[in-house]
């Protein structure tokens, strides 16, 4: 398997490079100018020209890209034009918040999608199936902006059970080692802190997980439906296996491959794509950072973030491909 | 037979279990959430957490959480040009002068007095003596020069344009700063307002701007405690502040970009004070009983500049016709629930240079039609109108309403809404015939009028009128009390020329706990200094 992994990682390098070149060109071709955004309302033409020169934006695009690549190869992603901090540090500061949110969303999605999808498939066209599919359609179609605001209104505003925003209350300062608050609180044995972190995670996690759950539920259903009609499932029943085993061991397990594939893609999207949820819940994650970077035309930060996110995407897909072997032992890597 | 068997076992066995499992898991999740909510106190003092207010303090809260739409951008206090961020830094770092909005004049903060020489280029600032930085070192003239040099020359400084009229600076003694400007600049005080002074000793101690900026050291009523980017910015009161320590012990600024989330955070007690409450949410806060609305007339002027390099806006009568075709009072009443103040001149009411005697052109669509007909546009014409979307309160709605009103006099207006990044840069390049824009942070009209309507300063309007240019030049050279009149004259001429459709200044709404005493400033700065809780 090792040669396979090495081959995959090596083949990912040109992909990541191509993505970064594409994004670089796109950012420079798109209308808008970072310096105008930086200097604000009072800037004159002379100020704009001076700042452009200071940031090297008056250089040809090819030179700018070459410089970016040379620095990136040395592990230096540059300094954000808008935030003034090193891009690597900005991303690392925001990454834990997004990873925790994505992880919870994933759990929410799986916990909802697998049972409902399987039940809907096994009891096709029953009332439960219709209800399950309607719920899935609801999950897919409702905008996360609306759902998030609704959850905030009900659980934070009216019931006041859960907080409306952020990762922690203002009165709390946690000792941190990793930046992952769930892990930090467990490491320091701060159980109450852990509960607080969970409280803050719940609403954004549900919002982000709900739309993914919708997609996955439909996928699980159709995939299970396809599998349980196969001969080997009939054989399993014929040999007298308990129905639960027939469905879970022979049905669901074999139905998982497309589900895991889509899950991997969704996971990739969620890392950079949870912009709306992060904005609604004032969640200090990568999505919001990327949005601020794009809207302020912070070329350096956009470029660095895209490099990190595309690497993440490639990595997740590699993990997905490797997990096929665990799901179906017949799959070999060469 | 086999099929029947399958269906039977399916119904009787697996699906029920699965279903029950699913219900169970979902139920546990919901119950778990409720449990979390129920069992966890609002403030914790457990292991690893900061203590809440000491038990021996009175019942009144000692902390203040301010939620605002924006986050601090960078460690450097000079690497931003955002009004709310200026306000946040001003708790820790002080400027030479500030504007007293009640009296309508500048007052010294770190400067005790100032004077100008006969050459109209030399400004002398006498500094307050005995002022200490948070680290105990004394504030002197060198700190002013150090800070201004950083503003002018730091690579990441976004404030250089504000003081780019400065030619040189010197410190004849510890408490005197002499500034020479490139040309006469009577509005220099507006330029040095909000230019925050940081400690030179602190900068030297850490060696680099990056390190020094992570230990913000100023002379203000609050000292820096902690910044978690995107999460919170915490400051604590400076117990040795020269005018007495502020009432609130600890203040936390929290960025919550979404207005509805900010309001819910206020209702739920996660925030004590929030900014930018939209007009339609004001009643929701007022009716809650535990909250109140603090309103103030904003400095931010909203207007629609016309670019005469686009036909037919080169025709003054066409511009004046467009102005008279728009019912500004109706816009304020119907789009903004009455929460705005009509502009009667190009200068807002609280700004130096406002002319209280000026009267705006009346809303007169019939006259507008007649003027258009006279100008050769009996059948109207078609024009692109660029509008921001979501940058200012109800901006797109306003633009659409304006387009509707212009449509009634035969002008077909295409409202275009490029994303703000595109909008801002194309605006600078002079690519819009007419656009909706806001200008805030102005207490002296000089710089703003020049920026939009003096020949060659920016391309924002491509407006050029020798009389306006002469009036603005003369205003900058007038250092006495006559300057207000000069500004009024320049503004009057700009208005007369139909350079823009001047709309209104906003009413800024802040939501606050009912027992929080805090006064809003017209410049959007949310200072914690004067805040206190009442019993």
pLDDT digits (tens, 9 = 90+) for A155-210: 988 888 999 888 888 777 766 778 888 888 888 888 888 899 999 999 999 999 98
- Nearest to B109, CA basis, from B124, B131, B87: B131
Find chain B residues with C-beta within 8 A of A48's C-beta: 428
Q: Which residues of B512-524 are buried (b: 16+ CB within 10 A; e: fewer)?
A: bbeebebebbbbb
Tokens standing for residue B367: 């006259």
Look at B425 and A31 and tell me if their CB atoms are within 8 Å: yes
- % helix / strand / coil in chain B, to the nearest 5? 35, 20, 45
Tokens standing for residue A326: 């665990």
What is the per-residue pLDDT for B81?
82
Backbone angles phi, psi at B17, to 5 degrees: -60, -45
Look at A32 and B439 and tell me if their CB atoms are within 8 Å: no
Mutation test of the interface with chain A: which of B71, B193, B211, B268, choosing the one with the most A Cβ atoms within 10 A?
Answer: B268
Q: Do residues B216 and B198 make contact, with C-beta atoms less than 8 angstroms apart?
A: yes
The residues near B102 (Cβ < 8 Å, ≥ 6 apart) are: none
What is the per-residue pLDDT for B25?
39
Across the A/B interface, how many CB contacts are shorter than 8 Å?
Answer: 258
Cα dihedral value A224, A228, A231, A235, nearest 10: 130
**Residue of B10, B33, B232 with shortest CB distance to A162:** B33
The whole-angstrom separation of Cα B12 and Cα B6 is: 10
Find chain B residues with C-beta within 8 A of A156's C-beta: 264-265, 268, 270
What is the per-residue pLDDT for A42?
64
Q: Which residue of A has its CA nearest to B163?
A: A42
Tokens standing for residue B378: 């009996």
Backbone angles phi, psi at B501, to 5 degrees: -90, 105
B158/A contact by beta carbon, under 8 A: yes
Q: Is the peptide bond before B312 cis (omega within 30 degrees of 0)?
A: yes
Look at B17 and A244 and tell me if their CB atoms are within 8 Å: yes
Residue that wins the pLDDT comparison between A93 and B9: A93
Tokens standing for residue A127: 């009332």
Q: Do residues B342 and B507 make contact, with C-beta atoms less than 8 angstroms apart?
A: no
Our CA-based measurement puts residue B198 at a distance from the nearest CA of chain A, in whole angstroms, of: 18
Q: Which residue of A has its CA nearest to B230?
A: A284
Cβ under 8 Å to A: B residues 417-436: 418-422, 424-426, 428
Tokens standing for residue B246: 């502020």
The whole-angstrom separation of Cα A60 and Cα A68 is: 13
Look at A166 and B34 and tell me if their CB atoms are within 8 Å: no
pLDDT digits (tens, 9 = 90+) for B106-143: 999 999 999 999 999 999 999 999 999 999 999 999 99
What is the per-residue pLDDT for B239?
93
pLDDT digits (tens, 9 = 90+) for B283-328: 999 998 899 999 999 999 999 999 999 989 999 999 999 999 999 9
Find chain B residues with C-beta within 8 A of A189's C-beta: 47
Find chain B residues with C-beta within 8 A of A31's C-beta: 418, 421-422, 425-426
The whole-angstrom separation of Cα A220 and Cα A228 is: 12
Mutation test of the interface with chain A: which of B254, B425, B435, B448, choosing the one with the most A Cβ atoms within 10 A?
Answer: B425
Find chain A residues with C-beta within 8 A of B46's C-beta: 190-193
Find chain A residues with C-beta within 8 A of B47's C-beta: 188-190, 192-193
Q: Which residue of A has its CA nearest to B63?
A: A171
Tokens standing for residue A332: 């070999």
What is the per-residue pLDDT for B365?
94
Q: Do residues B351 and B442 make contact, with C-beta atoms less than 8 angstroms apart?
A: yes
What is the per-residue pLDDT for A20?
84
Q: Do residues A128 and A120 make contact, with C-beta atoms less than 8 angstroms apart?
A: yes
What is the per-residue pLDDT for B400?
96
Three-state SS annotation for B179-217: EEECCCCCCHHHHHCCCCCCCHHHHHHHCCHHHHHCCCC
The reported pTM is: 0.82
ipTM, 2 decimals? 0.80
pLDDT digits (tens, 9 = 90+) for A129-160: 899 899 999 888 888 889 999 999 899 888 88
Backbone angles phi, psi at B260, to 5 degrees: -70, -35
Residue that wins the pLDDT comparison between B323 and A18: B323
Beta pairing class for B382-386 and B434-435: parallel
Query: How many angstroms separate the Cα of B286 from the Cα of each of A131, B30, B333, B394, B524?
Result: 41, 32, 19, 21, 21
- Nearest to B169, CA basis, from B145, B151, B193: B145
Please list the pLDDT of chain B residue by residue as tens digits (535 residues). 333 333 333 333 334 444 334 444 344 343 344 333 333 333 333 333 343 444 444 467 889 999 998 888 889 999 888 889 999 999 999 999 999 998 888 999 999 999 999 999 999 999 999 999 999 999 999 999 999 999 998 888 888 888 988 999 999 999 999 999 999 998 899 999 999 999 999 999 998 888 999 999 999 999 999 998 888 899 999 999 999 999 999 999 999 988 889 999 999 889 999 999 998 899 999 998 899 999 999 999 999 999 999 989 999 999 999 999 999 999 999 999 999 999 999 999 999 999 999 999 999 999 999 999 999 998 899 999 999 988 898 999 999 999 999 999 999 999 999 888 788 878 888 899 999 999 988 899 998 999 899 998 878 898 999 999 999 999 988 887 788 899 999 999 999 999 999 999 999 999 999 999 999 999 999 999 989 998 8
Our CA-based measurement puts residue B37 at a distance from the nearest CA of chain A, in whole angstroms, of: 5
Tokens standing for residue A189: 């044995």
Beta pairing class for B97-100 and B105-108: antiparallel
Residue that wins the pLDDT comparison between A267 and B414: B414
The whole-angstrom separation of Cα B249 and Cα B61 is: 9
Q: Write the DSSP assignment of B57-78 as a string of letters.
A: S-SS--EEEEEES-----SSTT
The whole-angstrom separation of Cα B46 and Cα A172 is: 9
- Laid out side by side, the sheet with B382-386 consists of B412-416, B382-386, B434-435
The whole-angstrom separation of Cα B468 and Cα B119 is: 24
Our CA-based measurement puts residue B46 at a distance from the nearest CA of chain A, in whole angstroms, of: 7
pLDDT digits (tens, 9 = 90+) for A293-321: 888 888 888 888 888 888 888 888 888 88
The residues near B390 (Cβ < 8 Å, ≥ 6 apart) are: B396
How many contiguous H segments (helices) and E segments (strands) does chain B have? 17, 20
Residue that wins the pLDDT comparison between A334 and A103: A103
The whole-angstrom separation of Cα B499 and Cα B324 is: 13
What is the per-residue pLDDT for A202?
94
């Amino acid at each position: 398997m090792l040669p396979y992994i090495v081959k995959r990682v090596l083949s990912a390098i040109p992909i990541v490079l191509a993505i970064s070149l594409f994004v670089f060109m796109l950012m420079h071709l798109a209308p808008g100018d970072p310096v105008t955004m930086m200097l604000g309302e009072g800037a004159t033409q002379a100020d704009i020209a001076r700042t452009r020169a200071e940031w090297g934006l008056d250089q040809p695009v090819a030179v700018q890209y070459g410089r970016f690549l040379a620095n990136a190869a040395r592990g230096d992603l540059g300094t954000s034009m808008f935030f003034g901090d090193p891009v690597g540090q900005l991303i690392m500061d925001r990454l834990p918040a997004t990873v925790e949110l994505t992880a919870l969303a994933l759990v929410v999605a799986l916990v909802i999608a697998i049972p409902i999808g399987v039940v809907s498939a096994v009891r096709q066209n029953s009332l439960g199936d219709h209800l399950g599919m309607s719920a899935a359609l609801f999950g897919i179609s409702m905008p996360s902006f609306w759902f998030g605001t609704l959850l905030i209104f009900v659980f934070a505003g009216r019931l006041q059970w859960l907080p409306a925003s952020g990762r922690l209350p203002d009165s709390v300062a946690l000792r941190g080692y990793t930046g992952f608050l769930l892990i930090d609180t467990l490491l320091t044995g701060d159980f109450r802190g852990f509960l607080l972190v969970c409280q803050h995670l719940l609403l954004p996690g549900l919002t982000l997980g709900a739309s993914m759950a919708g997609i996955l539920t439909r996928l699980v259903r159709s995939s299970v439906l396809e599998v349980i009609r196969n001969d080997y499932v009939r054989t399993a029943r014929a040999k007298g296996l308990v129905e639960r085993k027939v469905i879970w061991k022979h049905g669901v397990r074999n139905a998982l491959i497309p589900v895991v594939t889509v899950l991997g893609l969704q996971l990739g999207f969620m890392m950079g794509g949870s912009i709306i949820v992060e904005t609604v819940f004032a969640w200090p994650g990568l999505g919001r950072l990327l949005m601020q970077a794009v809207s302020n035309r912070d070329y350096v930060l956009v470029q660095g973030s895209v490099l990190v996110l595309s690497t993440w995407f490639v990595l997740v897909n590699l993990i997905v491909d490797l997990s096929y072997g665990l799901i179906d032992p017949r799959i070999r890597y060469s | 037979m086999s099929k029947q068997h399958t269906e039977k076992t399916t119904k009787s066995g697996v699906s029920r279990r699965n279903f029950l499992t699913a219900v169970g898991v979902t139920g546990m999740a919901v119950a778990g959430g409720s449990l979390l909510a129920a069992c966890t106190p609002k403030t914790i003092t457990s292991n690893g957490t900061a203590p809440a207010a000491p038990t021996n303090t009175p019942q009144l809260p000692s902390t203040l959480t301010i939620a605002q739409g924006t986050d601090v951008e960078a460690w450097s206090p000079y690497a931003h040009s955002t009004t709310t961020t200026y306000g946040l830094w001003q708790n820790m770092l002080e400027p030479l002068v500030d504007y007293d909005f009640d009296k309508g004049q500048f007052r010294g903060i770190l400067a005790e007095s100032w004077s100008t020489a006969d050459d109209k280029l030399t400004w002398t600032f006498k500094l307050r003596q005995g002022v200490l930085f948070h680290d105990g070192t004394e504030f002197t003239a060198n700190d002013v020069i150090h800070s201004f040099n950083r503003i002018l020359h730091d690579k990441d400084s976004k404030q250089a344009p504000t003081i780019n009229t400065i030619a040189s600076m010197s410190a004849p003694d510890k408490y005197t700063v002499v500034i020479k400007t490139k040309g006469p600049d009577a509005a220099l005080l507006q330029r040095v307002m909000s230019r925050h002074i940081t400690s030179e000793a602190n900068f030297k101690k850490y060696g680099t701007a990056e390190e020094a900026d992570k230990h913000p050291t100023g002379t203000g009523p609050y000292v820096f405690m902690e910044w978690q980017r995107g999460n919170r910015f915490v400051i604590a009161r400076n117990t040795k502040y020269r005018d007495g320590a502020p009432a609130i012990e600890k203040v936390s600024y929290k960025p919550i970009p979404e207005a509805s989330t900010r309001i819910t955070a206020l209702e739920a007690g996660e925030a004590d004070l929030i900014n930018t409450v939209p007009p339609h949410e004001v009643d929701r806060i007022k009716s809650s009983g535990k909250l109140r609305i603090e309103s103030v007339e904003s400095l931010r002027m909203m207007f629609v500049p016309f670019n005469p390099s686009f036909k037919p806006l080169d025709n003054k009568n066409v511009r004046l016709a467009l102005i008279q075709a728009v019912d500004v009072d109706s816009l304020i009443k119907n789009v903004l629930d009455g929460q705005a103040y009509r502009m009667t001149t190009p200068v807002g009411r609280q700004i130096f240079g406002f002319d209280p005697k000026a009267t705006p052109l009346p809303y007169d669509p019939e006259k507008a039609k007649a003027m258009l007909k006279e100008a050769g546009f009996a059948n109207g014409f078609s024009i692109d109108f660029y509008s921001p979307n979501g940058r200012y309160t109800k901006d797109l709605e306003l633009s659409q309403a304006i387009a509707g009103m212009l449509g009634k006099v035969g002008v077909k207006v295409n409202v275009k809404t490029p994303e703000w990044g595109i909008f801002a840069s194309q605006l600078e390049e002079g690519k819009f015939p007419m656009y909706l824009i806001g200008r805030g942070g102005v207490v002296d009209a000089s710089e703003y009028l020049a920026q939009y309507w003096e020949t060659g300063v920016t391309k924002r309007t491509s407006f050029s009128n020798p009389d306006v240019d002469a009036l603005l030049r003369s205003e900058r050279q007038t250092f006495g009390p006559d300057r207000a009149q000069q500004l009024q004259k320049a503004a009057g001429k700009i208005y007369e020329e139909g350079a823009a459709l001047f709309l209104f200044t906003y009413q800024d709404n802040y939501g606050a706990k009912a027992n929080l005493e805090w006064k809003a400033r017209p410049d959007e700065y949310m200072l914690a200094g004067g805040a206190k809780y009442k019993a």
